[in-house]
Chain A
Amino acid sequence: MSWDWQFYCNDTATQEAVAGCFGPGGKEQTYLQWMLSAWGWTLEVSVAALLLALVIGSLIGIIRTAPNRWLAGFGEAWTELFRNIPLLVQVFLWYYVLPEFVPALKNPAVKTALVICALGFFTSARIGEQVKAGILTLPRGQRYAGQALGMTLPQTYRYVLLPMAYRIVIPPLTSESMNIVKNSAVAFAVSIPELAQFAQQASEETSHFEEIFIPVTLLYFISAFAINRVAKFIEARVRIPGTVGAK
């Protein structure tokens, strides 16, 4: 089989080679520029959804362990709702069904936000489950000790429970964070021009399937692996010798 990578320097409209491999930008771009911008979309959707998922997931995880029936019940309902519906279905619900009830969401400016919400909320249910598990791993005495010292409930969480719980759940959170990069490919289904969309369209235009899918695969790998390395770095930096999970 013969490889041909030259087309990456071709203009996407004229199919002619562009000197220096970079067009003036905007719509006058080469396949290389198109791939990089598609990667940008993948990263944007993934990182934004990850931040959303971490914040909401933490809140959900915390309230599920709170000594209040209503709060815990809400967290429970949230988790079951978002983890029992397939991700692709959720994306469609956010993108096509929800705007029927809230017309303001039809605005093109918020269409990326809808996908980020879908991906972020889906992952938040899973992160919530892990944060809850982390908190429940701690001996019950820790909570009592905090409150015996006169701390309020939020203070107990902030200074006693969460610092330990988060350290314990860093490894599962890492794989959840890496999953979000891979799951971001569903954004293709609602017209976000991300890597999976680039791969389909560009390979159709150029008929260079291998030369497109190999770099796209590598870019997904690099993105997920970068998150893995950052998480490992954080895990190493915050490690406390002699506690659960530390070597």
Chain B
Amino acid sequence: MKRVLLAAALLAGFSVVHAEDTLKKIKDTGTITMGVRESSGLSYTIGDGKYVGYHIDVCEQVVRDIRRQLGLSSLTVKYQPVTSANRIPLTVNGTVDLECGSTTNNAARQKDVAFAVTTYVEEVRIAVKAKSGITSINQLNGKTVATTTGTTSVQTLRKHERANGVDFKEVFGKDHADSFLLLDSGRADAFVMDGSILAKNIATSKNPADFKIVGEVLSVEPIAIMIRKDDPAFKKAVDDSIKAMMKSGELAKLYDKWFLQPIPPTNTKIGLPLSAATKEAWANPNDKPMEEYAKK
């Protein structure tokens, strides 16, 4: 009998976790869990359990709008740090309601999760040491190229090698800070990653002038806030909130705040002007995966 009860309790536990109605869950529990990153361009920690960044500000506005929509007097926001590798499982299993990192919206991920409308269009670029003289991907033939495990850049690099018949020695950092350390310590000649992540790592390094972002755009990736799949009401609430920010110019203000003004913790500027691709995504809000962008 005990075992039956235990099984029933487990089943009940599972069904709570897999409840598809996120809005109801937020209303019932009075809490929402935000997935945040430790060191990512759009979402990072400044220590002391505080998380900041462009996507964090976007998410906080979304949370305010959801609170208003649900008519709650207060809504507790929990911050759950996630990594490239565990963000999808944690979103799928209900640990995280709103993943506010810097996740590329692609077709493979859309099988497991859903994405809000694209808030930022990322361009994959190459960071090198300023004095290395490297200006293009073709100069990297036979060189050591770092990128981060658990990101789409690994595949981008692989496709690029295949298409252009070049050969890199790849090294995979376990996170962005680690990959940047590979470049900084001279173990890698280049670090291939999303432009905003490169810019942020350079801006916060000891000597930002030692590094440079060079070369062609290797891949264009729509970055969006990630949510659970098959929850249209929650997706609509998140989308509507973001679309309102796009319309009101709030999102442009946030972009300016995080990409062009000095940011914590070191008060350096990333200095990455708004790209045409991001402008386009704001003018026509959509949740198209990366593959649709590549077709253009």
Binding site for B on A (CB under 8 A): 12-14, 27-28, 96, 99, 106, 108, 111, 188-189, 191, 193, 197, 200-201, 203-207, 209
In the complex with contacts A96-B181, A106-B185, A108-B187, A204-B174 CB distance below 8 A? no
B161 A27 Cβ-Cβ under 8 A? yes
A200 B150 Cβ-Cβ under 8 A? yes
Q: Which 8 A-B pairs have the closest CB atoms?
A: A191-B171, A13-B158, A204-B150, A200-B85, A13-B162, A201-B149, A200-B149, A207-B108
B172 A201 Cβ-Cβ under 8 A? yes
B107-127 interface with A by 8 A CB criterion: 108-109, 111-112
Q: Which residues of A contact B186 (CB under 8 A)?
A: 106
Q: Give the complex CA separation of A189 and B186 in angstroms.
A: 17
- A to B CB contacts below 8 Å, 17 in the list: A12-B155, A13-B158, A14-B159, A14-B162, A27-B161, A27-B167, A111-B187, A191-B171, A191-B174, A197-B174, A200-B150, A201-B149, A204-B84, A204-B151, A205-B152, A205-B155, A207-B88
Q: Which residues of B contact A193 (CB under 8 A)?
A: 172
B171 A13 Cβ-Cβ under 8 A? no
Minimum Cβ distance to chain B for residue A59 (Å): 31
B62-116 interface with A by 8 A CB criterion: 84-85, 88-89, 108-109, 111-112
Minimum Cβ distance to chain A for residue B90 (Å): 12
Minimum Cβ distance to chain B for residue A192 (Å): 9
Minimum Cβ distance to chain B for residue A64 (Å): 36
Summarize A's interface: helix, strand, loop or mixed. Answer: helix
Which residue of chain A lies nearest to B157 when distances are taken between CB atoms in the complex? A13
Q: Give the complex CA separation of A204 and B108 in angstroms.
A: 9
Q: Which residues of A contact B111 (CB under 8 A)?
A: 207
In the complex with contacts A197-B149, A204-B150, A28-B108 CB distance below 8 A? no
Q: Which residues of A contact B173 (CB under 8 A)?
A: 191
Q: Indicate if B154 sits at the interface (CB-CB under 8 A).
A: yes
B174 A189 Cβ-Cβ under 8 A? yes
Q: Give the complex CA separation of A99 and B181 in angstroms.
A: 13
Q: Which residues of A contact B159 (CB under 8 A)?
A: 13-14
Minimum Cβ distance to chain B for residue A15 (Å): 8
Binding site for A on B (CB under 8 A): 84-85, 88-89, 108-109, 111-112, 144, 146, 149-152, 154-155, 158-159, 161-162, 167, 169, 171-174, 178, 181-182, 185-187
Minimum Cβ distance to chain A for residue B156 (Å): 10
A13 B161 Cβ-Cβ under 8 A? yes
B174 A28 Cβ-Cβ under 8 A? no
A191 B150 Cβ-Cβ under 8 A? no
Q: Which residues of A contact B109 (CB under 8 A)?
A: 207
A207 B187 Cβ-Cβ under 8 A? no
Q: Contact partner of B158 among A12, A188, A191, A203, CB < 8 A? A: A12
In the complex with contacts A191-B172, A207-B88, A96-B185 CB distance below 8 A? yes
Q: Contact partner of A191 among B88, B155, B162, B182, CB < 8 A? A: B182
Minimum Cβ distance to chain B for residue A10 (Å): 12
**Residue among B85, B112, B181, B186 having the largest count of chain A Cβ atoms under 10 Å:** B85
Q: Give the complex CA separation of A106 and B182 in angstroms.
A: 11
A201 B144 Cβ-Cβ under 8 A? no
In the complex with contacts A108-B187, A188-B174, A191-B171, A205-B162 CB distance below 8 A? no
Q: Give the complex CA separation of A28 and B159 in angstroms.
A: 10
Q: Give the complex CA separation of A96 and B85 in angstroms.
A: 24
Q: Give the complex CA separation of A158 and B88 in angstroms.
A: 57
Minimum Cβ distance to chain B for residue A34 (Å): 11
Q: Give the complex CA separation of A28 and B161 in angstroms.
A: 10
B85 A204 Cβ-Cβ under 8 A? yes
Q: Which residues of B contact A209 (CB under 8 A)?
A: 89
A106 B89 Cβ-Cβ under 8 A? no
Q: Give the complex CA separation of A180 and B171 in angstroms.
A: 23
